[in-house]
Amino acid sequence: MIDRLRSISISTALLLAGTGLLVGATDPGGPSRPGECLAHLPGSIQWASRHTSPLAVDDTAGPRPESWAPWTHRPSCVEAANDPKVKFCTYTDAGHGPHGFSLITTPEIAAANIDTLQDPSVSSVGAPNLEHWQKLEDDPPYEVVDLPGKGKGVVATRLIKKYDVFMSDSAMFVNFRFTASVRQQDGYDQLHTAAERLRNPHALLSLGRSNTGHQSDIVEDVMRTNSFNLDISGVPHMGMFSKISRVNHACKPNSFMRFSKRSFGATIVAFRDIRPGEEITISYAPFGLTHSQRQSTLADWGFKCTCEMCTAAPDVIAESDARRSKVEDLQAEVLDFLGRGKIHGAIKLIKSILELLETEGLQPLMTEHYDSLARIYWYLNERGKSRANARSAVELLAVHGFIDLKDVDLYVGALHFNQVLFVVRTDRRIARFEPLTHPPVDERRLMRTSVKKSIAAVFWLSVFICAFLAIRNMAAFAGPRYRFTIQPDYFVDYEQVAAQDPSGKATTQPNLGILDREYPEIEIPGTPWERLVTNVTRLNAESRGDVQYKVLFLTRHGLGYHNVQQAKVGTPEWDRYWSRLDGDGAVVWRDAPLVEEGINQAKQLSLIWQDAVANGVMPLPHSFYTSPLTRCLQTSKLVMGPLLENRGHPFRPIVKELLRERMTDHTCDARSTRTSIQEAYPEYIIEPSLTETDELWKADRFESDEEHIARKQRVLEDIFSTDHSQYISLTVHSQAIQAIMQVGGAKPFKIREGTSFAVVMRADVLHS
């Protein structure tokens, strides 16, 4: 087995996590003052309030076990060599799961996870209970053996049924900054302490090592060659699973991994029946990739896949690749058909996609398409077909661990009444099983509901939803639904940056101008961006449902032909005459493309982004949006595209009409047809509302500043109400950026072509 690949498999593991999403919950009230334990908790979580406290504990805790409960050992801590104020401590719960688990992290992060970790009311979402765990430990349906050319591997010893949970594991977790922050010997001591406090330290220490030299660094070697990358409370950590690390990769695996951040446990589940003597495999790469994409992804880790799928005959590989590529093409066609009102044609295409996915064994990717069919049939008033497809979508989510099987009726009922299919709509990356180059989606508590209560809840929920949707639709044009506020003190004053530049325009700042600041609400170690990420995650976790925070990465397109012509003739002459023409006979600036300098600006900006993301300086955006004008389409592909394409993943931004520049009588503000955009950028997702011809631009009409700001208000409301990503990239225009700043209550400023900057945007729902 090639152990150094373990970090890849977390892409699949986290996506297959037992993720519960909020249907209904009681507000726990939160601490009344900083540093106090939670009080007045609802009954469902009173267990945690009686047995734990969110107060941070470290090696100064008292001598009695209750002083450091629920941990089974007194924390062992060391100070960071570069900052004595930062401590890293080893926390162990030896009674957790089959082996117990240890966590090396800061006291604050450990405290933040105590109540959910120890709360018995948290849904396991298909994970085995303790009795089943013990049965798996005593008589596992597999064994670890030596496999030719692979080292160790796992082989089934008896029949494992489809969707059986047959392997459970818990791990040792280490804060990503730990090894770089503490002295070497202190680090070794803590790693050994964490491992030795587990119930079966040998299970972890017996994993393959990259260095068979000094015995003192055995734990570090095991961690380096067998670790998964994951986030805990928004902070990067490494996790080591002693049993799961023995499972080898296959591009068409017979099993998948689920990791639950709520329980810090992981399970392996059978995709299909697994026969005795068959090797058990999981995928280290994302689902749905073609042969070359898979090999490219795995090659980054020095690994050439030799699984059955990758060593098949060339014609078999070609046929598989063709089916997978066809899925991508058909998905774009579905959006196009729906946008043009060809409903029944879209249905036929979706059914073709489902057949292709079934043939390729990519059942997890079918969820979203069943969901789409359910909604389309409901729209067509074919209720029976709608219910059948809704149930197929939700049952697939249930068997793959996203929701509990006993909540299927509740989810299906909510879906029937045009509510969000919570898992799919909360983050479409889950249903598509895309790789976690993005931070993982936060898990939330499921509402536990009996079958009878579920039926009643669905009925009354449906009545409320129908009334609510009707009222909301009537009020859609009455005024804004959100109040947006750009949060201060996160980034440099861009207005001042612009004022100090000779051009009067802001330029891309180092690390996008993030301030190296502390957060008084919580002590957060790490780089400025790591601290910001943790703080924004905390703000969203602590906010009620009517408040959310997002980091918006705003990029202005590179230099276009219209910019060059305006500079050439001067602004007064441009406004008077030239701007109303399509071009000057030599070049065309109607829906102006980038000039060579603009292309180079975008490429240089992309290098800044690639370097920052690769080195962990900045987070990768979760979602990407672009204006439909050519200069933005080009810029988004040149700047943001490589961030995903270099990792073997397609770049598929959403093209939104309302992100366009302020409408004037200038021809550079007119856009191309929908068809021409789709032909030039077939991988881009064009929103259905974008018409074939340009219906916004008029040669005899100017859009007022107020109208433009209102348009940007609407597009932000659309994004914030439908996209739950925390980090969003928008590739837009100069005046569009100024309007977004004004929507957020900030002063507008000018920005140079080919420039990126960031803001933290708060959105408050306006209930009135």
The DSSP bridge pattern shows strands 165-175 and 265-270 to be antiparallel
Which member of 220, 434, 661, 717 is catalytic? Answer: 661
Whole-angstrom distance, CA of residue 424 vs CA of residue 53: 34
Residue 573's alpha-carbon distances to 64, 576, 595, 765, in angstroms, are 82, 5, 21, 45
Residue 67's alpha-carbon distances to 52, 55, 56, 61, 690, in angstroms, are 10, 11, 11, 6, 61
What length does the chain have? 768
Amino acid making up residue 552: L
Query: Which of these, 25, 746, 129, lies nearest to 449 by C-alpha position?
Result: 25
Helix (H) / strand (E) element for 301: namely none
Two tokens, residue 37: 């334990």
Active site annotation includes 358: no
Whole-angstrom distance, CA of residue 3 vs CA of residue 140: 22
Residue 56 burial by Cβ neighbours in a 10 Å radius (0-12, 13-18, 19+): buried
CB 51 within 8 A of CB 93: no
Tokens 């660094």, residue located: 217
Q: Bin 570: left if φ > 0, else alpha if -120 < ψ < 50, else beta.
A: left
Residue 345 burial by Cβ neighbours in a 10 Å radius (0-12, 13-18, 19+): middle
Which member of 557, 562, 666, 708 is catalytic? Answer: 557
The DSSP bridge pattern shows strands 727-732 and 623-626 to be parallel
Whole-angstrom distance, CA of residue 364 vs CA of residue 357: 9
Residue 303: alpha-carbon gap to chain centroid: 26
Q: Is 446 helix (H, G, I), strand (E, B) or coil?
A: coil
Query: Which of these, 765, 761, 706, lies nearest to 739 by C-alpha position?
Result: 706
Active site annotation includes 443: no
Give 42-57 as a DSSP string: -GGGHHHHHH---S--
Amino acid making up residue 751: I
CB 458 within 8 A of CB 23: no
Positions annotated as catalytic residues are 557, 661
